[in-house]
C-alpha cells in the first residue's frame, strides 16, 4: 500500500520530467543569444569609447602644439584664428562620435548637422574682418591630422 501511495504522489506531482521540460525552450535559446549579443555590443561600445578618447587626446595635443607653433612663428591673432577652427573641429569630432554611437540603435544614417557647423564657422570667418579663413579652415582640419597620426601609430607601433 505504501508503494501505491508513493506512485500516486509521483504521478500527481506538478513537476514532470518530460522531454519538453528538459529541452530548452525557444525563448531560452533566444535569451542566451540576446545575452551574448548584449555582451558583444558592450565590448564593441567599450572599444568605441576607448578609440574616441584616444582620438580626442591626440586632437587636443596636436591643437596645443600647433597653436603654440603658430603663435611663435606668426602672431597671436593668427594662432587664435587657428584655435577657433581647431575647437570647431573638436566639436565636429564629438558630434560625429555621438552620431556613430547612435547608429544601429535608433538611427540608420548619420545626420548632416555637422556640415552646418563647418559652414557656419567658415561664413563667420568670411564676414568678420578680424578672422582669417585659412587658419580657421586649417584649424578645423586638425581632427583629420589626428586620424593620420592614429593610422601611423596603429600601422607602425604594435599594441602593448
Q: Which domain holds residue 131?
A: 75-155
Query: Is residue 142 in some structural domain?
Result: yes
Three-class DSSP labels, the chain? CHHHHHHHHHHHCCCCCCHHHHCCCHHHHHHHHHHHHHHHHHHHHHHHHHHHHHHHHHHHHHHHHHHHHHHHHCCHHHHHHHHHHHHHHHHHHHHHHHHHHHECCCECCCCCHHHHHHHHHHHHHHHCCCCCHHHHHHHHCHHHHHHHHHHHHHHHCCCC
Whether 12 is in a domain gets the answer: no
Count up the domains in the chain and report the number.
Answer: 1
pLDDT tens, residue by residue, 3-58: 444 333 333 334 433 444 444 444 444 555 566 666 776 777 888 899 999 999 99
More reliable by pLDDT, 32 or 93 = 93
16 is a domain residue: no
Q: What is the mean pLDDT of residues 67-90?
A: 95
Please give the pLDDT value at position 105: 67
Global pTM reads 0.69
Q: What is the pLDDT of residue 20?
A: 42
Amino acid at each position: 500500500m505504501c508503494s501505491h501511495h508513493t506512485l500516486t504522489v509521483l504521478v500527481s506531482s506538478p513537476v514532470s520530467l518530460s522531454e519538453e521540460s528538459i529541452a530548452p525552450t525557444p525563448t531560452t535559446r533566444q535569451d542566451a543569444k540576446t545575452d551574448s549579443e548584449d555582451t558583444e555590443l558592450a565590448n564593441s561600445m567599450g572599444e568605441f569609447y576607448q578609440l574616441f578618447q584616444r582620438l580626442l587626446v591626440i586632437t587636443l595635443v596636436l591643437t596645443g602644439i600647433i597653436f603654440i607653433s603658430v603663435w611663435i612663428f606668426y602672431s597671436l591673432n593668427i594662432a587664435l584664428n587657428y584655435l577657433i577652427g581647431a575647437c570647431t573641429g573638436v566639436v565636429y569630432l564629438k558630434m560625429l562620435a555621438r552620431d556613430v554611437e547612435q547608429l544601429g540603435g535608433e538611427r540608420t544614417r548619420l545626420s548632416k548637422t555637422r556640415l552646418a557647423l563647418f559652414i557656419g564657422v567658415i561664413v563667420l570667418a568670411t564676414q568678420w574682418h578680424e578672422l582669417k579663413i585659412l587658419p580657421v579652415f586649417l584649424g578645423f582640419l586638425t581632427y583629420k591630422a589626428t586620424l593620420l597620426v592614429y593610422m601611423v601609430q596603429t600601422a607602425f607601433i604594435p599594441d602593448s
